[in-house]
A = this chain, B = another copy of it.
Amino acid sequence: MITPPSPLGDQLERIERARAARRRRYVLQDEWITLSHGSGGKASRNLLDGLLLPGLGGAPLDGFDDAAVLPIGAAPARLAFTTDSYVVSPLFFPGGDIGSLAVHGTINDLATAGARPLALSLGLILEEGLDVVVLRRIVESIRTASAAAGVPIVTGDTKVVNRGKADQVFINTAGVGVVPNGVSLSGALVQPGDRVLLSGPVGDHGIAVLLAREALEIEADIRSDSAPLHRLAAAVLEASPQTRCLKDPTRGGVASGLNEIAQHAGLASAVDEGRIPVRGDVRAACEILGLDPLHIANEGKLIAIVPAAHADAALDAMRSDALGTEAAIIGEVLESPPDMVLVRTEAGGSRVLDMLAGDPLPRIC
Contacts and interface: CB of A to CB of B under 8 A. Distances in A.
A110 interface: yes
A3 to B, nearest CB: 8
A196 to B, nearest CB: 16
A209 B287 CA distance: 51
Contact of A161 (B67, B69, B175, B363): B363
A69 B80 contact: yes
A186 interface: yes
Contacts of A313: none
A36 B363 CA distance: 10
A22 to B, nearest CB: 7
A121 B75 contact: no
A222 to B, nearest CB: 20
Q: Among the interface residues A5, A170, A250, which one has the most CB atoms of the partner chain B within 10 A?
A: A170
Interface of A: 1-2, 4-6, 11, 14-15, 17-18, 21-22, 34-36, 38-45, 61-62, 64-87, 89, 108-110, 112-113, 115, 118-119, 121-125, 154-157, 159-162, 164-167, 170, 172, 174-177, 179, 181-189, 191, 241-242, 244-245, 247-248, 250-253, 256, 260-261, 263-267, 295, 297, 307, 338-339, 354-359, 361-363
19 contacts: A1-B182, A2-B183, A5-B244, A6-B191, A22-B263, A36-B357, A36-B359, A38-B251, A38-B359, A40-B253, A42-B356, A65-B185, A65-B264, A69-B115, A70-B80, A72-B72, A72-B76, A85-B159, A125-B125
